[in-house]
Each structure stands twice: as structure tokens, then as C-alpha cells.
Amino acid sequence: MKKNLMLISLLLLFVSTFMFGEFVIGVASQHLGNDWNRGVVKGIKDEMEALELEYIHTNARGDTNQQVNDVENFLLRGVDAVIIAGGEGPAFAPVMKKLNDAGIPVITIDIASEYALTNVTSDNFNAGEKLSLYTVNKLRASGQIVVFDTPGWQSLLIRGRMLDAVLVDYPNVEIVARFECSVIDSVNNSYQQMKSYLLSNPNVGAVYCTWGLPAIGASKAIKELGMEDEIFVVCVDADQAILQEMMSEDSPLTGVIGQYPELLGKLSVDMTKLALEGKTDQIPVEVYAPIICIEQTDPDAWFAGTENKTPGDAWETLY
């Protein structure tokens, strides 16, 4: 009798494994060069391990073509789902269509696509609006702004568009230059671009960065030229380097919108699990994580409806 029960148990285990197998999820990062990207991956890995899911993680080291190739390789390996952890969204459309046609769910982070089952992201519309209004208020509704951006990332594009939308109602605030900053060596690139521009165009009042690391380079250039009392810097991403810069006495970096990258990673895995369980009807098109508003000395400079903190308090919250 015991022998028969054992055989039945083994048969059921075999059938279960044959039918469902062990899920393998491909996770593709563009780079791990800042705390946001590293935090997203940590959140993904922690949640994968908690749910006992197997995954393959790749790091393209800032090379979009390589990241696309990594996703192509996931398709060839026959993974059960793919998470694309940030990147230049339009570049993935062809391979995402192939995954979609193959019935392999794709969950994206900061990439909106018709081929993604869902996109996990921070509330970038709110973040961009608040950062833009903060900038206008600090300029007293008059002055010149330099913008640092990086092409292709949906969240960054939204933050840039929100600045344009806000400035429609403030004709005395003008964007005088836009710099595209690569994710590779971004601090040095933004430093050189900012310093070169200010040497011939010193009448800048603010620098608006759609992500974090360019704010470090821009702040360095401003301080080196002794203009920290004339120009302030704002950005999205509360990386450790950003908060450390904010806490220095002579820093022009005054306002930052922080995110919760580990939560973004966790949410992407949770959505993937629902997809693998066939519960796609429970998955929204967009999944939003909250933001945190950080001000150098006066959290009340922000607006109601968000979590507002000083850099020190934000450090305790995030790290």
C-alpha cells in the first residue's frame, strides 16, 4: 500500500513538473551605474527569492543595443516571462512584439509599450509637475533654465514634458539650453557641458535635471565657478550621492524628487507572478509607486499631497 502511494506521489510530481515546469524569468538592465538601477535590481532579486522564482539577470552596462540583444537571448532560451528594467523604450518594440507573439509576458519598468503587459513606474507626472512648480516658485516666476536630459527613457520624457507644460503659464521663465547626457560617465559629461555653457552664458537661474547624476556634474561646475548663490539645481532621483551633495554647505542642489526603486523592482515581480498564474485580468496597464519630495533646508517649500523631507530625513527613509 505504501509502495503504491509513493508511486502515485511520484507520478503526480512528474505530471505537475511536465505540465508547469519551473518558471524562469529573464531580467534585463540597461546599466547599474546609479542607486536607482541598483535598487530596482535589488528589489527584483529579493522578491524573486522570496517567491522562490528562478531568474536570469543581465547588465548591458549602458549599451542599449546590448540590452536589446539580452532580451533577444531570453526569447531564444525560452524563458517564461521577461522584465525590462528601464532603458530606451522604442528600441525594444521589435523584440517585445516577438515575445508577445510567442505568448511570453513582458513587464517593463519605466517603459510604456503596446507590447508590455504592464509598466511599473513612479508617479512621474506628479513628480515632473511638482519639480517644475518648485523651480518656478524659487525663480520668482522669472529667469533662465538649463535642462539636462537623457533620450529614450519614458519617465524622463514625462518629467521634461511636465516642465514645458508648466512654463506655458509663466512667460518670463525661459528654457535657454537642453543638454542630452549619456548614462555613461554622466557626471563628468554634465560637468563639462554646464561649465562650458556658463562661461559664455552666465545669466542662468536654475538647472532642471530629469534624473540624478547630471545634477552632480552640474552642481560641481556651478561651485567651481563660484555661482552657487546665483544658480540652483533640481532633479529626480534621491541617490546617495545626490543626498550627500544636498547636505554640503555650499551645494546649489536644493530640490529633489526621490523614488522608491526597490519597491519598483518588487512590484514588477509581483505583476510577473500574476501573469504566470494566468491572472492577467488583475494586472493594470500602469502600476504607480509613490514619490518623496526633498528640500535642502525647507520641506514646506513643496506642496501638499506628498511626503516631504529634508535630505537627512530622506536618507533615513531610503537607506
How many domains are contained in the chain?
2
CB 275 within 8 A of CB 81: yes
| Residue 62 covered by a domain | yes
Confidence of residue 84 (pLDDT cuts 50, 70, 90): very high
Q: Report whether pLDDT(23) > 50.
A: yes
Rounded mean pLDDT, 177-194: 94
Same domain, 166 and 296: yes
Whole-Å CA distances, 131 to 135, 138, 203, 227: 6, 11, 21, 21
> What domain range is 270 assigned to?
20-121+261-289
| Residue 12 covered by a domain | no
| Residue 2 covered by a domain | no
Confidence of residue 223 (pLDDT cuts 50, 70, 90): very high
Share of the chain above pLDDT 70, in %: 93
What is the rounded CA–CA span in Å between residue 239 and residue 213? 8
Same domain, 255 and 265: no
SS3 25: strand
Same domain, 84 and 155: no
Q: What is the chain's mean pLDDT, rounded? A: 92
Same domain, 89 and 44: yes
Confidence of residue 151 (pLDDT cuts 50, 70, 90): confident
Place of cell 532579486: 45
Residue 209: phi and psi, rounded to 5, are -110, 130
Same domain, 188 and 251: yes
pLDDT at 1: 46
Q: Among candidates 267, 14, 63, which has minimal Cα distance to 275? A: 267
What is the rounded CA–CA span in Å between residue 294 and residue 310? 5
pLDDT at 285: 96
pLDDT at 26: 98
Same domain, 115 and 207: no
Confidence of residue 4 (pLDDT cuts 50, 70, 90): very low
Whole-Å CA distances, 42 to 46, 261, 278: 6, 9, 26
Share of the chain above pLDDT 90, in %: 88
Query: What's the sign of the alpha-carbon dihedral 253, 256, 262, 268?
Result: negative
pTM above 0.85, yes or no: yes
| Residue 7 covered by a domain | no
Same domain, 230 and 267: no
| Residue 6 covered by a domain | no
pLDDT tens per residue, range 251-301: 999 999 999 999 999 999 999 999 999 999 999 999 999 999 999 999 999
What is the rounded CA–CA span in Å between residue 96 and residue 113? 9
Same domain, 189 and 211: yes
The CATH number of residue 174's host domain is 3.40.50.2300
| Residue 15 covered by a domain | no
Same domain, 94 and 139: no
Q: Across the chain, how many H-helices and E-strands are there?
A: 11, 13
